[in-house]
Amino acid sequence: MRMEPGITAFVDRLAAVELGPACTNFFDNAVPENALRRRNLEIFLQEMLDHSPTMLLVGEAPGFRGMRITGVPFTNRVILGGPANAFGLFGPGKGYVLPPEAAGVAAEPTATVLWQVLEEVGYLPLLWSAFPWHPHQPGKPLSNRTPRPSETKLGTPFWQELSELFGIGTLVAVGNVAQHSLKRVGLDVPKIRHPAHGGRASFKKGLQELMEDRATGLG
């Protein structure tokens, strides 16, 4: 697969960020196993670049059963290791590799719900997080927690860079954490419900309303 140089440089910068003790940079070059995750993310971003998305959905942060394992936003081991989806993303022969630690890990449900909804509405945005590393409870790497504002601030240059690299026209906050992160730099963007914790129907409704607004020139 031909790789856009900007993508490789982007992933290199992600890997170089130093975080606090209650966070994991699962792209860190110092950990040999992370090479798989860096490569998975590069492949995903190149696949997405070929689809020319115009909307960026900014979520909260990766979970320990999702992107923390795969290296790819809003995915889990089932999505990454399964067949291509309705958009032609993922599937065998693309170069995606699940790390050995993925075996036996329950699939992150939010990722499954999100991709189901995207397929139902027939729309493919670019996906990212306000804090693109894994925040966890102190001393408990196999846990999740909400990233602090000081942490999401570290992630700001990365969603900004992705927006520029992809020529994104519309940014959308998925949940409050993302909305606060975007507002911090002066952006007043639409917010839709996060699909986790029973938010599936509201997430789908919010996404459909955004699509309708864009179709009528209101958004």
Q: What's the pLDDT tens digit per position in 140-158?
A: 999 999 999 999 999 999 9
**Mean pLDDT of the residues in the chain:** 94
| Residue of 161, 199, 170 lying closest to 17 (CA atoms) | 161
Q: How many residues does the chain have?
A: 219
The β-bridge partners of 173 are 58, 191
Give pLDDT, residue 101. Answer: 86
> Per residue in 120-134, pLDDT tens?
999 999 999 999 999
Pairing of strands 126-129, 170-174: unpaired
Q: Give the span between the Cα atoms of 27 and 38, in whole angstroms.
A: 6
**Considering its fold, how many domains does the chain have in total?**
1
- Cβ neighbours of residue 73 closer than 8 Å, sequence gap 6 or more: 44, 59, 62, 67, 127, 128, 129, 132
Least confident of 10-24, 55-69, 122-136, 185-199: 185-199
- Please give the single-letter amino acid code of residue 93: G
Residue 178 belongs to what domain range?
5-215
Q: Give the span between the Cα atoms of 120 and 114, in whole angstroms.
A: 10
Q: Give the span between the Cα atoms of 108 and 75, in whole angstroms.
A: 7
State which H helix or E strand residue 65 sits in.
Answer: none
The DSSP letter of residue 148 is P
Give the pair of three-digit tokens for residue 43.
Answer: 């492949």
DSSP E strands in the chain: the ranges are: 23-24, 55-59, 126-129, 134-135, 170-174, 191-192
The DSSP letter of residue 57 is E
Instruction: Compute the Cα dihedral for 111, 90, 117, 14 and give only its sign.
Output: positive
Under the banding of pLDDT at 50, 70 and 90, the label for residue 213 is confident
CATH of the domain at 45: 3.40.470.10
| Residue of 101, 100, 34 lying closest to 71 (CA atoms) | 34
> Per residue in 79-110, pLDDT tens?
999 999 999 999 999 999 999 888 888 999 99
Pairing of strands 191-192, 126-129: unpaired
